[in-house]
Amino acid sequence: MEDLANWIRPIISGLAGGIVVWLLISMTKGSGEVKEGVKVLSYSTPFKIFCGLLIPFSMFVVYAMSQSYKGQEIPAFLVAFGFIAGAIFFPYQAFLTNFAYDEEFIYYKSPLVGRKKEPWENLIDVGYSWLLQSDYIVVDGIGKIWCSNMLNGYAELGEFLEEKIQDLYPDES
């Protein structure tokens, strides 16, 4: 019976994680908030709560990984590193960055690049990161802006970008 429990435990854990992600995405709004004609993309409250809880949970995981058996050091280190990276990246995105846009400009603010306002003509690239499972745009003067599907207004941004790219680069479409 213990073998069955050891076999099924990772499956249940994976399903639970999938359900949490599905719930977070389902609570995301397709359109962002509009302030003074500018569309503001922001993370939902449940996602921000998740990010806040991720920090102490990651500390627990790092502690648990520090108790690994001999021969498990490398996998334990990789798991701990993954949780530490997530505990830094997700709260940074959720709490410390702001992304907004209108027909003419991209507005972005973060501790690393400061407050920026760049015209859409500075759009260099639109892409997708398989590793982070997130879209991004690259803007000259700002750099890479991550556009997660957990952003309120993500769907609306996608539609806007399709039209904007057609306008900016009609020969390449």
Residue-wise pLDDT tens digits, 16-37 = 888 988 888 888 887 888 899 9
pTM: 0.82
Residue-wise pLDDT tens digits, 52-107 = 999 999 999 999 888 888 888 898 899 999 999 999 999 999 999 999 999 999 99
SS3 (DSSP) at 158: helix
Question: Sorting pLDDT into bands at 50, 70 and 90, what band is 1?
Answer: low
Q: How far is CA 162 from CA 19, 27, 165, in A?
A: 30, 24, 5
- At residue 168, the pLDDT reads 82
Average pLDDT, the chain: 90
- Gap between the Cα atoms of 126 and 114, Å rounded: 21
Q: Which residues pair with 99 in a beta bridge?
A: 41, 108
Residue-wise pLDDT tens digits, 116-152 = 999 999 999 999 999 888 999 999 999 999 999 889 9
Judge whether residue 172 has pLDDT over 80.
no
Three-state secondary structure of 81-129: HHHHHHHHHHHHHHHHCEEEECCCEEEEEECCCEEEEEEHHHEEEEEEE
- Asked if residues 159 and 32 have their Cβ atoms less than 8 Å apart, the reply is no
Under DSSP, the state recorded for 68 is: P
Question: Sorting pLDDT into bands at 50, 70 and 90, what band is 173?
Answer: low
Judge whether residue 11 has pLDDT over 80.
yes
Q: Letter for the amino acid at 101?
A: Y
